[in-house]
A and B are shown apart, each in its own frame.
Chain A
Amino acid sequence: MDVNLLAIVFVAILANNIVLSQFLGICPYLGVSNRLETSMGMGMAVIFVMTMSAVVTWVIDTFLLVPFDLIYLRTITFILVIAGLVQLVETVLKKTNPTLFRAMGIYLPLITTNCTILGVALLNVQAGYNIIQTIVYAIATGIGFTLALVIMAGIRERLELANVSSYLRGAAVSLVTAGILSLAFMGFKGMMTL
């Protein structure tokens, strides 16, 4: 399959943003977007894990599941592999690079069973990307996730100071904001498709 890498980047970040258009990863999107700083940390951890898991799942899919005709086991296999991988990364990171671990450590368990990670792994193999396209798609999707998260965190930090009606305060206003953001990203929709 021949898809322009730049097109993948554009579509993954803007036109088909994983959170705002594809409806994946809503939980961390609302949960970790209280502060700009933590949302950046979460975003970086997601990019890192997403890329690693996409590569590993691509390898397993191409060299194990497809040859043995076990495609119906994709979901369960990917969950197994991703959970194991994240745990491994956490253990290794704790020993070898404590600074990076402190920056990303608390987010890693959160990411383990995150639907964006699994979603990207599945979307990759369904689209039939090769390894280069897989890596580019995973990184771009991670950036798209971080973008959505950081925008949301920026808005929510200001919302905290704003005089929100008591009926809307908390979850309600966050969800309304998320909806409006999603509307805004619809502007990119028609520009490009894969």
Chain B
Amino acid sequence: MDFVLAVVIIGGLGLIIGGFLAYSALRFAVDEDPRVETICDLLPGANCGACGFAGCADYAEKAVKGEVALDCCIPGGKDVCNSISEVMGVESTASADKKIAEVRCVGTNEVARNKFYYQGVPDCKAAMMYGKGFKACQYGCLGLGTCVEVCPFDAMHMGDNGLPVVDAESCTGCGICAKACPRDVIYIVNANRTGKVILCNSKDRGKAVSDVCEVGCIGCKACIKGCPQEAIAVENNLASIDSDKCNDCGECLDFCKRDAMRDVVKIAVG
């Protein structure tokens, strides 16, 4: 008798719970838009968060609902925006040019002075905890590779000279490295630009810069006079070149005493 009772009660319980689950699965069924999955497949799937949402799936969902623009995916760029727009049946709004990360520091180990010898955890954020970093220039790259570490596209590696190198082919301009860099020395720039660029981030006055670095921009304004295109401006003791005006004539290189001016690395855009 006991045996029958046990079977009936446990079996009955199982049946009731099963029935409940089956009913709730029907009653509370969520209609998912099939386009969400399609768009999710089209996105790069790196879940980098550059669009401002919690991963590709989240963005796909928001995009289908029409809550956000379709050109938010920075790594995907024009191509992804076009194909998403196709799925959604709307005109593509792709205007975003390919972006790329740029390390605005050329203060290699040879030319930039260190304040002290750092022998801690090899990570820029950790190094910042000790006296705001070991590099004497407070704007310069520490070269411990936190950006290399966080890059989801494997587009950065540490060069022999102690500065990270961006691989223009793999870089998608997602900006994760720029956010991770504790010294804010990485900028996201237009990948198609040409001409010269000033790879220095120091806003210190001339004397302070030349004390700590042999190549940093001292804001002397000599290049302004040297530029026939009037493409150079100096703000906060730091020169910058307007890439729209620059025609890559190279006159400025003769005027810059500091070697902070470099060619834009030519990028093969596919």
Give the interface of A toward B (CB within 8 A).
60, 64, 68-70, 73, 76-77, 80-81, 84-85, 87-88, 91-92, 94-96, 161-163
Contact = CB atoms under 8 A, between A and B. Distances in A.
Q: Is the interface of B mostly helix, strand, loop or mixed?
A: helix
Given A73-B10, A80-B10, A163-B121, A94 B28 contact: yes
Nearest to A76: B10
A95 B25 CA distance: 10
21 contacts: A68-B9, A69-B2, A70-B5, A80-B10, A80-B13, A80-B14, A80-B17, A81-B17, A84-B17, A84-B20, A84-B21, A85-B17, A88-B24, A91-B21, A91-B25, A91-B28, A95-B30, A161-B121, A161-B123, A161-B126, A163-B120
B125 interface: yes
Contacts of A92: 24, 28
A77 B13 contact: yes
Which of B5, B9, B18 is the most central at the interface, judged by chain A CB atoms within 10 Å of its CB?
B9
Nearest to A85: B17
Contact of A91 (B10, B14, B24, B120): B24
Given A94-B30, A95-B29, A161-B126, A77 B10 contact: yes
A162 B121 CA distance: 6
Contacts of B24: 88, 91-92
Contacts of B21: 84, 87-88, 91
Interface of B: 2, 5-6, 9-10, 13-14, 17-18, 20-21, 24-25, 28-30, 120-121, 123, 125-126
B63 to A, nearest CB: 16
B133 to A, nearest CB: 15
A70 B11 CA distance: 13
Contacts of B6: 70, 73
A73 B8 CA distance: 12
Q: Give the top 10 A-B pairs by smallest Cβ distance, nearest first.
A: A84-B17, A95-B28, A91-B24, A91-B28, A163-B121, A161-B126, A94-B30, A92-B28, A95-B30, A161-B121
Contacts of A95: 28-30
A161 B28 contact: no
Contacts of A69: 2
A162 B2 CA distance: 61
A64 B13 CA distance: 10
Contacts of B126: 161
A193 B7 CA distance: 39
A70 B9 contact: yes
Contacts of A60: 13
